[in-house]
Amino acid sequence: MIKKVRFIYNPYSGENIIINELDNVIRLHEEAGLQIIPYRIQKGKALSEALDGIDTTYEYILIAGGDGTVDSVVNAMKKRNIDLPIGILPVGTANDFAKFIGVTNDIVEGCNKILNSKPTPVDLGQINDKYFINVASTGLFTDVSQKTDVNLKNTIGKLAYYLKGLEELPNFRKLKVNIESKECKYDGQMYLLLVFNGQTAGNFKLATQANLYDGKLDVIMFKAIQIIELLPLFIKVLKGEHLDSDKVVYFKTDDLYIQSSEDIVTDIDGERGPEFPLRIKCIKGGIKVLGIK
């Protein structure tokens, strides 16, 4: 019996790159003796439909999109208890997780790596009843990627996020937050809190000590400091020296509880996250990934 691969692709991701590569994806899989069953993500249609009909004849799920697309597919898989490995073709605006695991942007090379690899279990983040592969965040700027117009995002990419971020500067205010875990308790004010399974957010390498196999998430919180202190801290971020700063709270944990009564949203890899309070956990080996370096 011929083995199948469910290919879920987001035609709106990034510069619509995947549309020109569809034939390569199908050809390479056919040459490997696998049948591609495509599913095109469409606005207004539930992504869970992409998993209809998946049974024991399926080898893995191939996802073409950014971090948000991968998250959506993983969440849909978890809801249905589908335990197939995933392969990622990073064609989104933000491909932070794919970069962290060493996945190439070249579609042909990426398919070949996936086809010639074995599944590797990697950690997965859980925030309340949702899952994330790269980062969950809250505080200032966290809803920037949600507010950024899709067309703008696709046209000017990362610059769109930064332009939107600059618009938020007048809203700079201290945010009250309460954090509890075995490793750390914090009750005070902050600007930004990020909980990483991956390593980068918006191409900034923030979780420099992140490890996908240690069963831990990396928690980085930027304390509420004087505006004049922000530039020196930002320079430390660029140099990768911020984790040692007394302006930053940093620790690793597998279980974290966060409360805040502030009017702020949460973000999961560019998509809207759940409401407070937040229970964030690390599921060790929670998803199997193909094509890892």
Q: Which residues are catalytic?
A: 271
CA 193 vs. chain centroid, Å, equals 15
- Quickly tell me which residue has 């019996």 as its tokens: 1
CA-CA-CA-CA torsion for 274, 197, 207, 289, nearest 10 degrees?
A: -140
| Secondary structure (DSSP) of the chain | --EEEEEEE-TTSTTSGGGGGHHHHHHHHHHTTEEEEEEE--TTS-GGGGGTT--TTEEEEEEEE-HHHHHHHHHHHHHTT----EEEEE-SS--HHHHHTT--S-HHHHHHHHHT---EEEEEEEETTEEESSEEEEETTTTHHHHS-HHHHHHHTHHHHHHHHHHTGGG---EEEEEE-SS-EEEEEEEEEEEESSSEETTEE--TT--TTSS-EEEEEEE---GGGHHHHHHHHHHT-GGG-TTEEEEEESEEEEE--SS--EEETTEE-PPSSEEEEEEEEEEEESS--
